[in-house]
Structures are given as structure tokens and as C-alpha cells.
Structure 1
Amino acid sequence: MKRFLTAMAICAPFVASAQEIVVETLEIEPQTFESLRQPLGDVTSETVVGAVVAEGALLRGLDKLTGDLVDFELQNGYSLNFGALRVDMAQCRHPEDNATGEAYAYLTILENNGEGASVFEGWMIASSPALNALDHPRYDVWVLRCKTSQADGND
């Protein structure tokens, strides 16, 4: 009798957990696609806008540790120190028809005030700073706009 009760106690969870599985086939409705009502047309030409070399650029630096935000102007061919970084700017360019938009600057950024390794070298674009960004654990540097000699508020 003891064996029978022990066997029943062991098998009881398996008997209670048995379920019936029912498989149904569902109908799938066909998908319909609509075409565009207006034709997109053919691309036959592209517009190329000439770039103008500016005198320098307005850059912004962020110290992520202290939260300090600093704007600084840098002339073409010059360098400056920002925290432990040295920022060298070769050139800032912008489209002829839009001096305040689409500015892009060629920067070289070195650690240890110029004595360390290069942490960035390339073009930074003002309208898309994340496209080619400085990857540094403490500092961020990005381009705001080019500095021009025009009297339109860009100085």
C-alpha cells in the first residue's frame, strides 16, 4: 500500500498537467499594394554649390566632468588649448549662398596639450555634429559656424 501511495504521489503532477493541444489553420488575407499617385520623375542633373573658405570658425567645447561649456573662435592655421586637449584648425568652409548653415571645419585634436596621441582628425560638420564626432571620455568639441568678414552678424 505504501508503494502504491508513493507511486501515485509521484505521478499526480504529470496526470494533472496533461493538456489537449488543438491546431487550427487560419486563413491569410492577401495584401494589396497601391502605387504612388504622382510619378516621381527622372533625376537628370544635380546642383553643385561652391564652397568658400572662411577666416576661421566658432567652436564649442564641453567638459563633461565639470559641465563647463566654452565657445571659442579659432582662425585657420591656428591652435588653442581646451582643457587637456589641443585643437588645431586647418580650414573652415561654407557654401557660397549660406554662410551660417552647412559650415564644416577640418580639425586635428590631440591629447595632453598637443604632446599626446591624436584623438580626432577630419571634417566636422556644424549641421550634423554626430556624423563625425570627437570620441573622448571627458571632452566634446564641435563646430558652430564659420567666421566670415561680412557684416552680417557672423563675426
Structure 2
Amino acid sequence: MKALAALLLSAAPSLAQGYSDAQGGVVRWLDKLTNQTGDVELQLGQSATNGRLTIQLDACRYPSDNPAAEAEAHLTILDSTRDGPVFTGWMLASSPALSALDHPRYDVWVLRCVVPGYEPPEVAPDAPDDATTEGDGQ
């Protein structure tokens, strides 16, 4: 019982944090069979098709005071070979495995919400493997 109370108290600040609704979001998809991947930016209610999957963004929200901290998106995902959605629910950008798409061929996860005036930091590309370094005799 004490462990449960401690867990609830530690989660209280995140529950009290205010969230804002975004007008769009960015999701990434992976076709595990072909190894193709891509990012797609969707507006609320918009959908995109990649292979057999159609991904629709129903909602996207983020912490009002820190858009980079988290994104929560409600997605509806359809597979053209199946009846009904293969996924419908909330996905968290920071913990995609908590509510993941359970599909043998595809993975889909949320990257971020689209927030006006906010640009996510650029990720520097890795140095090539054949780059020479000082002291390697060349």
C-alpha cells in the first residue's frame, strides 16, 4: 500500500501539468519487411497511407510549458488487408512501447506535436566510419 501511495505522489506533478492541443503531429513508420521508413506530418483529422497502412491523427497534445518534453497523440491506424482498425488509442513519444501498434510487419510511433514557433533541435549526422583522425599515421 505504501508503494502505491509513493507512486501516486511521485506522479502528481506530471498529472497537474497543463497540456495544450496542437493542430498537427509527426509520426514515423517502419516497414519491417522492406526496411523502408519515413516521417509524415499530419494535421488533425488528416491521414496518410504508406504501404498497407493508413495512419490518421485524431489529436496531439504537449506540455504547455515545454513542447520538447513530450507528445501524446491519438491515432487510428488501418491495414488495407484487415477489417477495422489495427490500432486506435494514445501513443506517447517518450514511451512508444507503452501503447504500441501490435503488427507483424509495421511499426508506428509518435515523434512530436507540431507547435507554432517551436523547431525541434537538429540532430548532427554521425561521422563517417572511414574518417581519419589525428595520430592514425595518415
TM-score tier (shorter): 0.7 to 0.9
Question: Greater Rg, structure 1 or structure 2?
Answer: 1
Distance (Å, rounded) in 2 between the aligned partners of 1:81 and 1:91: 18
- More RCO (CA 8 Å, sep 6+): 2
Query: What code does the residue aligned with 2:84 have?
Result: A
Distance 1:73 1:65 in 2: 23
Q: 1:136 aligns with which of 85, 98, 103?
A: 103
Aligned pairs, number: 110
User: Which residue of the partner structure matches residue 55 of structure 1?
Assistant: 23
Task: Decide which of 116, 119, 123 is 1:153's aligned counterpart.
Answer: 119
Normalised by the size of structure 2, how large is the TM-score?
0.73
Alignment of 1:2-151 (within 5 A): 46-47=12-13, 48-112=16-80, 116-150=83-117
Identity, in percent, stands at 50
Q: Which residue of 2 aligns with 1:9?
A: none
Unaligned 5+ segments in structure 1 are 1-39
The 3-state SS of whatever aligns with 2:17 is coil
- Once residues 82 and 52 of structure 1 are traced to their aligned partners in structure 2, the CA distance between those partners, rounded to angstroms, is 29
Q: Which one-letter code corresponds to 1:49 in the other structure?
A: Q
Q: Scaled by the length of structure 1, what TM-score is found?
A: 0.66
d(CA) in 1 for partners of 2:96, 2:28: 11
The Cα RMSD (Å) is 2.0
Higher fraction of strand = 2
The answer to whether the 8 A contact 2:40-2:48 is kept is no
Partner deviation per Cα, 1:86-144 (whole Å, 9 max, x = no partner) = 1111110001111122100000101108x732100000000000000001111111000
Unaligned runs of 5+ in 2: 1-5, 121-138
Tell me the amino acid that sits aligned with residue 75 of structure 1: Q
4+ long deviations beyond 6 Å: none
